[in-house]
Amino acid sequence: MRERYFFGILLILLGLGFLADQLGYFQMGEIISTYWPLVLIIAGITGLFDRKSSKMGNLIVLALGILFQLNRLDYLEVEVFRLFWPIVLIIVGLNILFTKGISNHNVKVDPDKWSTNVIEDATVDSFVIFSGLETNNQSQEFKGGKLTAVFGGIDLRLTEANLYNNEAFIDATTLFGGIDIIVPNNWRVEMTGTPIFGSWSNNARSNPDPDAPVLKIRCMPIFGGIDVK
């Protein structure tokens, strides 16, 4: 809903600006050329106040907008992307360090080895780097959790699980990695996210039943992919 208002107001402002340009009050093209990064800045700030949106993704969008704006105002003389990627790595690192999962189960894996786990924990908090993890969660009161894959992959199978109070939430983040989540046919999956040179896809079967169990997934794929099937 906030995105709808944001883009609606943006179109109105652009229309008023071009109208003023045609009436000779100022040159709209020059203003857009100088201040177009404000769109990224406003979008990032707006997203930070959206509970369904990825905070890390919006911080990255905000950082990119600020860098471009400083560059357009001649406060930065270096190429923007030379600064952008170190900032992305810092934001991802801070997210890993200070964002707590909602579980008491933390899966650790050895480098260069795939690990397959059968668990019944109500929540998961899995982090892999340069490695892979396959987990079959059979909890009958699954509440969700957090998945983070950095230069690695996570496969989470939930086909034998049931959701606690028919609802669960997963926060999924990838950096040059991939996450696959396999769900039962009767679940409804709702995905939101901010891909940064990455993608997410929801291939779960559509379930129009309003009382169907709902798994909500917030995605943050950076040069990676998050798939539900």
Predicted confidence (pLDDT) at residue 198 exceeds the cutoff of 90: no
Long-range contacts of range 12-15, CB-CB < 8 Å, 24 or more positions apart? none
State the Cα–Cα distance between residues 166 and 183, nearest whole angstrom. 13
Identity of the residue numbered 62: L
Can you say how many angstroms the Cα of residue 130 is from the centroid of all Cα atoms in its chain?
20
| Mean pLDDT to the nearest integer, 13-22 | 76
Lowest mean pLDDT among 51-55, 92-96, 146-150, 152-156: 51-55
Most confident of 29-33, 61-65, 127-131, 134-138: 134-138
State the Cα–Cα distance between residues 122 and 80, nearest whole angstrom. 43
Can you say how many angstroms the Cα of residue 149 is from the centroid of all Cα atoms in its chain?
13
Helical (H) or strand (E) element with 181: strand 178-182
Helical (H) or strand (E) element with 91: helix 80-98
State the Cα–Cα distance between residues 187 and 208, nearest whole angstrom. 10
Lowest mean pLDDT among 46-55, 115-124, 130-139: 46-55
Identity of the residue numbered 155: D
Predicted confidence (pLDDT) at residue 188 exceeds the cutoff of 70: yes
Predicted confidence (pLDDT) at residue 74 exceeds the cutoff of 70: yes
| Mean pLDDT to the nearest integer, 134-143 | 91
What average pLDDT is seen over the chain?
78
Structural tokens at position 45: 């700030």
Point out which residues pair with 191 in neighbouring strands: 217
Strands across the sheet containing 106-107: 106-107, 123-129, 144-150, 167-175, 214-222, 188-193
pLDDT of residue 140: 93
Helices 37-48 and 2-22 cross at an angle (nearest 10°) of 160
Phi and psi dihedrals of 171, rounded to 5? -105, 115
Could you tell me what percent of the chain has a pLDDT over 70?
79
Phi and psi dihedrals of 101, rounded to 5? -75, 175
